[in-house]
Amino acid sequence: MNDLNILINEIISEDQEIKEEIELLDFKYKLIDELINFRKAYKLSQSEFADMIKVDKQMISRFEKGEVDPKLSFISKILHGMNKEIIISSKI
């Protein structure tokens, strides 16, 4: 682990608010990665995937760039289009 990672881990362990923000961003970017990997695996352009889930291509583009915080309905469309679901469980 490099010095930067050590510093980041120290900051996170000391500040619960920062830790929560990072966890929220982590979920967002994991979903973005899943979408990009799905499109690549099935050789789908952003336009093709957008047509498939009936949204504007710009929405997919902006989401993949991390420029928007999507509504739950948009996330649901993405997951449905990828034939995936979210499993909710307690963090212990």
**CATH assignment at residue 71:** 1.10.260.40
Q: How many domains does the chain have?
A: 1
Question: Range of 29's domain?
Answer: 3-81
Kindly indicate the confidence band of residue 1, based on its pLDDT and cuts at 50, 70 and 90: low
Q: Considering the domain boundaries, does residue 35 fall inside one?
A: yes
Q: Considering the domain boundaries, does residue 88 fall inside one?
A: no
Cβ within 8 Å of residue 62, ≥6 positions away: 68
Q: Hey, what are 91's tokens?
A: 């963090």
Residue range 38-91, pLDDT digits in tens: 999 999 999 999 999 999 999 999 999 999 999 999 999 999 999 999 898 887
Q: Considering the domain boundaries, does residue 89 fall inside one?
A: no
Contact 12, 18 (CB under 8 A): yes
Supply the pLDDT for residue 18. Answer: 83
Q: Considering the domain boundaries, does residue 58 fall inside one?
A: yes
Q: Considering the domain boundaries, does residue 86 fall inside one?
A: no
